[in-house]
Amino acid sequence: PFEWQLRAAATVLVHDIGTGYGTGCGKSLCFVLPLLMHEHDLGITVVQLTALMLGQSKNGPYPSAARLLPNADAMRSKITIQAAASGEYQHIICLPEIFKTPSFRKNFMKKLACLRVVCVDEAHWGFRTDYLEMAVVSTQLCPACGCVRELHIRRSVGLSTSGARISIPNARQNIALSVFRLSMKQSRKISRIVMSA
C-alpha cells in the first residue's frame, strides 16, 4: 500500500474520514486494511454498483467477503446475512438498498463489538435516494467511516463533518500529459468521431 493508504487506514480506526483520490487509486483499500489486524473484525462496504461489489470481493486483501445482491432470492440473502453475522465472513459488501433494511440492521446489531468500519463508497451518487436514507442505519451500527469528501454529502449519509480528510490531486508522478502528431489515418478517424457527435 501507499503511505496515504496506510495513513487513512490508521485514521479510520479512530475518526470518520473522507478520502479524495482519482478513480482506481485505491481508496476502498484504505477501509478494509484495518480488517487485517484481527481475524474476527468485521467491515461493511456500501457500493452503488454491482460491478464494483464483484470487483472488491475478488480483489480484497481480507480472507473472506460476502456479496449481498438485491436480486438474490430472499432465502439466499437471509442465509448470507446470517452467515456474515455469525462470523463466516469478514467483509460484507452490499448496495444501499440492502444496508438500510431492518433485517440487515437486526443481524449486524449483534456484531457491534466486532464491527470495525463502515465504508460508504462513492457516496457522491446523490441521485440514489437510498444513500440519503442510510444515515440512521450507519449511526446505529457504529461511528461510520466513509469515502466521502463533500460536507453536505457527509451530513446526508450520517458521517461526522469534523472528521479527517485525506486527498491528493490527480497530478501525480505516474501520470503524464504528452502531445504528439497524429497520422493522417488517425486524424481522419478523430474528425469523423467529432463530426458525428
CATH (domain of 14): 3.40.50.300
Tell me which of 7-11, 54-58, 137-141, 165-169 is least confident.
137-141
pLDDT at 115: 80
Residue 120 lies in a domain: yes
159-191: b (≥16 Cβ within 10 Å) or e = bbeebbebeeeeeeeeeeeeeeeeeeeeeeeee
As a whole number of angstroms, the distance between CA 74 and CA 177 comes to 50
Is 193 part of any domain? no
Beta bridge partners of 126: none
| Cα–Cα distance list, 30 to 108, 126, 139 (Å) | 22, 22, 20
Lookup: cell for 1: 500500500
| Pairing, β 115-120 against β 65-68 | unpaired
Q: Per the domain annotation, does 106 fall within a domain?
A: yes
pLDDT digits (tens, 9 = 90+) for 54-82: 766 666 655 566 777 666 666 777 777 77
In a domain, 188, yes or no: no
Q: Which residue in 53, 30, 12, 13 sits closest to 168, CA to CA? A: 30
Question: Which of the pair, 159 or 145, is modelled with greater confidence?
Answer: 159
Any domain includes 194: no
Q: Which residue has the higher pLDDT, 123 or 144?
A: 123
Question: Does residue 177 belong to any structural domain of this protein?
Answer: no
Exposed, middle or buried by CB within 10 Å (0-12, 13-18, 19+), for 65? buried
Question: Both ends of the chain: CA-CA distance in Å?
Answer: 41
Give the domain extent around 86.
3-169
For the chain, what is the largest distance between any 2 Cα atoms, rounded to a whole number of angstroms? 66
pTM across the whole model: 0.65
Q: Higher pLDDT residue, 192 or 124?
A: 192
Average pLDDT of 98-103?
A: 79
Quote the pLDDT of residue 105: 77
Q: Decide if 82 is inside a domain.
A: yes
Domain count, the chain: 1
Residue 180 lies in a domain: no
Vertex 146: Cα angle to 83 and 109 (nearest 5): 35
